[in-house]
Amino acid sequence: MDGTTVAGLVFDMFSPARRADPYPCYHAAREVGALVPSPLGAYLVTGYRDCTTVLQDPAWGHGYSDGISPFRPGVAADDIPGSFIRMDPPDHTRLRGLVGRAFTPREIGGLRPRIERIAAELFDAVVDAGEIEIVDALASRIPLTIICDLLGVPAEGYSRFDGWARALARGLDPDVLLSPEELRQRDDAADAFNEYFRDVVAQRRARPGDDLISRLAALEQDGDRLTGTELLDICVLLLFGGYETTVHMTGNCVLALGRHPEQLALLRTRPDLAPAAVDELLRFDPPVQFTNRVALQERQLAGRTFARGEGVVILIAGANRDPRIFPAPDRLDLTRFAGGGLGPRHLAFGLGVHFCLGAQLARMELEIILAMLVRRVTAIDILDSSPSYHDTLTIRGLRNLRVRLRSG
């Protein structure tokens, strides 16, 4: 391909018209090469092995602390909602060490009964309803109710939280792709989230309860505690991350199983496949499509030297369909990860120091949803021939999806 053709491919990949199926673009980019130049001023990293190399190397970071990020020039980490995930060591190491104490396997495992109860109540409301819009009726309601319950905040403000989360999700895309109105909406949503949680955090510090915010406020390690600003930032991240990505994870899974009825039937006969099914569904169609990294010092990648401050876009969803790693990558196979083992892992939760802190919680939520789905639903009829997707690029998810859940 010449330069004009490559530029056209990249623009096509990032076009909202491609949200329904970006995967042919990812395959085409991989055929161009390991590194593909983009109009974003950063190279696209197309293959699984190179993506894992960058994700596992702490010398590739976000660069906001040093003011060298090419994706949001001149913006400090503290000015980004949920900035914890945009920090580099040692600040990131310190905060992750503190917050991670509330996300141990024991802590997360203890949440299972509450999550099962919430999911069961929401399934009861929709499973016999016939034709439904699954994103609003189930995919959005389950994660929002769960994360609000864990944080100890009311879920009644669904439309408010959803609107703020939508604006922040769009704001994760590179600034050069956003209109002035979208930039303003992102900043307004960040202010609204902060204002909401400022009062909640103050209340929990004064009167702790049995909720995650109270536990985070009380955390201490070697005399170190979260500051008020840090706790506020983490609350925003937990509600946004625990809601937005899980909404689309759930919606994508329902769509995939509806389009592959033989896999739903397999899961009904083999419910023990649920953990492997979660991994395969996340590999097949992850909510987070790509992430960015910046060379914090000179690095070598795929035969090219990257100077400090140069950026790359890691095509997570494309790496998950690299045929050199995952045979028949465009085929949904719920047995692909069965038996565990030490084979290649999907990159839906990232790798390295920024591996998703909520991965275990997200897995458990999806396992519970799948378990209830296969117990109570015999078939999923997809009623939309062309489902509608949000325009967001970094996080890809359904705007709405009409389905019929058959239970008999």
Q: CATH no. for residue 337? A: 1.10.630.10
Please say whether the beta carbons of 399 and 388 come within 8 A. yes
Per DSSP, the residues of 270-307 read -GGGHHHHHHHHHHHS-SB--EEEEESS-EEETTEEE-
Q: How many residues are there in the chain? A: 408
Q: Which residue has the tokens 């359904």?
A: 398
Note the pLDDT of residue 318.
98
d(CA 239, CA 261): 33
CA 363, 163, 87, 97 torsion-angle sign? negative
* Measured CA distances, 142 to 87, 149, 166, 260 (Å): 29, 11, 17, 23
Note the pLDDT of residue 2.
52
**Cα–chain center distance at 107:** 21
Note the pLDDT of residue 128.
78
Q: Which residues pair with 403 in a beta bridge?
A: 132, 382
First to last CA, the chain: 52
Give the DSSP letter of residue 177: G
Domain count, the chain: 1
- Rg of the chain, C-alpha, whole Å: 21
d(CA 378, CA 46): 38
CA 217, 223, 227, 232 torsion-angle sign? negative
Please say whether the beta carbons of 316 and 396 come within 8 A. no
Note the pLDDT of residue 1.
54
Structure token digits, residue 232: 């506020």
Domain limits for position 24: 3-406
Q: Which residues pair with 374 in a beta bridge?
A: none
Q: Which of 85, 401, 71 is nearest to 242 (CA)?
A: 85
* Measured CA distances, 47 to 134, 162, 257, 300 (Å): 33, 33, 26, 15
Listed in sequence order, the residues at least 6 apart from 83 whose beta carbon sits closer than 8 Å to its beta carbon are 64, 77, 233
User: In which residue ranges of the chain is pLDDT below 50?
Assistant: none
Note the pLDDT of residue 221.
67
Structure token digits, residue 342: 């030490």
Residue 133 — φ and ψ, nearest 5°?
A: -95, 105
Listed in sequence order, the residues at least 6 apart from 190 whose beta carbon sits closer than 8 Å to its beta carbon are 81, 168, 171, 236
Query: What kind and span of H or E run contains 131?
Result: strand 131-133
Q: Which residue has the tokens 């033989």?
A: 262
Give the DSSP letter of residue 135: I
Mean pLDDT of the chain, nearest integer: 89
Residue 326 — φ and ψ, nearest 5°?
A: -120, 105
Kindly report the pTM of this predicted structure: 0.93
